[in-house]
Amino acid sequence: MLNTGDVIHDVEQIDQAVSAEIPGKETDPQLWETVTTCMLHGPCGVENLRAPCMVDGRGLDGCCSKRYPKGFLQETILGEDSYPHYRRREDGRFIEKAIVQADGTTSIFRYDNRWVIPYNPFLTKRYNCHMNVEICSSIQAVKYLYKYVYKGPDRANLLIDDPLNIDEVKVYLDTRYISAPEATWRLLGNKMHDGSPPIQRPQLYLPNQQPVYFSTEHDLQDVNTRAES
């Protein structure tokens, strides 16, 4: 819960906290690098019909579940019981990236402010990663927060092609999932498991139950000496 003086009330405060535009490369190269690397959506739609965000079919009739590309906006507009419509000026800034089409060919796609995911400039520069920041000012924010608090871990489907040739390391890396509570527990340095009383396995050898391996070329007396030691 924010203090009364920290609650965002108007458009000017929203623009200070959240941006949905490509920053200037000359004025802030570090922020530009992170935004153009981590905070661009897609492409999707007719530019990329196979994009995972496409719903209602992956063909020409499909649409982006995140509603990209957004429209250009000269000023931020407060939404009615929803997220704000962030400022996305048509300022001429863009970045071009190569994308692979379904037929294997490569094309160049131009990103502009319509494809920028909302972000906080300070947090984006500090952590240098994808971090979507939104202004939640409606009563639905309570439902949104509780959904993530009680959200269970993801589930993974396993496919084993050859039961006799299993790459255990690859299976572990492909299916390992650390949920938010487990990650917090690890970051705090708490134990992941414990046992009481502690169990240790001593190195003991029972009479006549210790195998001795030798070659037929070895001397029998030396083999007996090793077995008795």
What is the per-residue pLDDT across 119-143, written as a single tens digit (0 to 9) for each?
A: 999 999 999 999 999 887 666 677 7
Mean pLDDT of 156-160: 65
CA 23 to each of CA 32, 91, 127, 132: distance values in angstroms, whole numbers, following the listed order: 5, 11, 17, 16
The rounded distance, in Å, linking the Cα atoms of 195 and 212 is 35
Percent share of the chain, pLDDT over 70: 82
At residue 40, the 3 state secondary structure works out as strand
- Identify whether the C-beta of residue 98 lies closer than 8 Å to the C-beta of residue 107: yes
Q: Higher model confidence: residue 137 or residue 190?
A: 190
Question: pLDDT-based confidence at 59, cuts 50/70/90?
Answer: very low
**Residue 177 confidence class, pLDDT cut points 50, 70, 90:** confident
Contacts of 34 (CB under 8 A, 6+ apart): 124, 125, 128, 129
Q: Which band of pLDDT confidence, cut at 50, 70 and 90, is reported for residue 216?
A: confident
158: left (phi over 0), alpha (psi -120 to 50) or beta: beta
Residue 33, pLDDT > 90, answer yes
Q: Return the pLDDT at 75.
A: 93
C-beta of residue 69 within 8 angstroms of C-beta of residue 114: yes
Residue 23 has pLDDT above 80, yes or no: yes
Q: What is the pLDDT of residue 58?
A: 46
